[in-house]
Amino acid sequence: MRSILAVDDSASMRKMVAFTLIGAGYHVIEAVDGQDAYEKALTHTFDLVLTDQNMPRLDGLGLTRKLREHPQFKTVPILMLTTESSDQMKQAGRAAGATGWLVKPFDPNRLIEVIQKVLR
């Protein structure tokens, strides 16, 4: 079973995402912000990271950068959840090393769809 690290400081969003992913057969590790996610990354194994952008302590871009600095996380797919898809965001995401993005609010079905593409 594939594992997904789901990062969002909003409990309702996080729970919803976890519920959606678990329903689709994934195992979910939850983190409440970038720092928490980073710490969990060092002690858990997972196949994909799904992260919100705006979070305290360490945000999505920061988390992405930090993970990419590690050899073991150089290639893990990282999807950013953002509230808009401007060029700005894309540049920043790309620069940080993210694999892709998903715009919030999103349809749970689409979330599964995208993740399945990535984890194929």
Partner 1 sequence: MAESHNQGGGAGSGAFDLTQFYQIFFEEAGENLDQMEQMLLDLDLETADDEELNAIFRCAHSIKGGAATFGFADVAELTHKMESLLDKLRRHELKPTAPMVDVLLESADALRGLLACHQGSSDNPPATAELVRRIGALAAGEEAAPAPVVAPPPPPPPAPSPAPSGMPAAAPVGVQRQLVIHLGPLERMEQADCVEELFRDIDGLGTITRRDSADPRSRVYAVDTRSSNDELLDLFAFHVAKEQVRIEDMAAAPVPAPAADAGFGFFDPLPEAPASVAAMAPAPAPVAASDPGFGFFGDLPTAAPEVPAPKKDTPVVVEAKPVAARVESKVAAPAPQAHQEASTIRVAVSKVDQLINLVGELVITQAMLAQNSRALDPVVNQQLMAGLADLDRNTRDLQESVMSIRMIPMSIVFSRFPRMLRDLAGKLGKKVELVTLGEATELDKGLVEKITDPLTHLVRNSCDHGIEMPEERLARGKPEHGTITLSASHQGGSIVIEVRDDGKGMSRERILNKAREKGLDVSDQMTDAEVWQLIFAPGFSTAEQVTDVSGRGVGMDVVKRNIAAMNGTVDIDSSEGYGMRVSVRLPLTLAIMDGMSVGVGDEVYILPLSSVVESFQIKADEVSTVGQGSQLVKVRDEYMPVIGLEKVFKVPRFDLDKSSNIMVVVEAEGGRVALLVDELLGQHQVVVKNLESNYRKVPNVSGATILGDGKVALILDTVALVRRFKH
| DSSP state letter for 71 | G
Among 43, 37, 89, 44, which Cα is nearest to 63's? Answer: 37
User: CA 105 to CA 49: how far, in whole Å?
Assistant: 18
CB 79 within 8 A of CB 50: yes
CB 78 within 8 A of CB 97: yes
Q: Which of 32, 41, 49, 50 binds partner 1 (CB under 8 A)?
A: 32
CB of 45 to partner 1, least distance (A): 19
Among 37, 18, 15, which Cα is nearest to 27's? Answer: 18
User: CA 68 to CA 72: how far, in whole Å?
Assistant: 8
Q: Does 59 participate in binding partner 1 (rule CB under 8 A)?
A: yes
Q: Does 98 participate in binding partner 1 (rule CB under 8 A)?
A: yes
Q: Which residue lies nearer to partner 1 by CB, 46 or 61? A: 61
Q: Which of 11, 22, 70, 74 binds partner 1 (CB under 8 A)?
A: 11
CB of 24 to partner 1, least distance (A): 10
Q: Does 120 participate in binding partner 1 (rule CB under 8 A)?
A: yes
Q: Which positions touch partner 1 (CB under 8 A)? A: 9-13, 15-16, 19-20, 23, 30-33, 35-36, 52-62, 65-66, 82-96, 98-110, 114, 117-118, 120
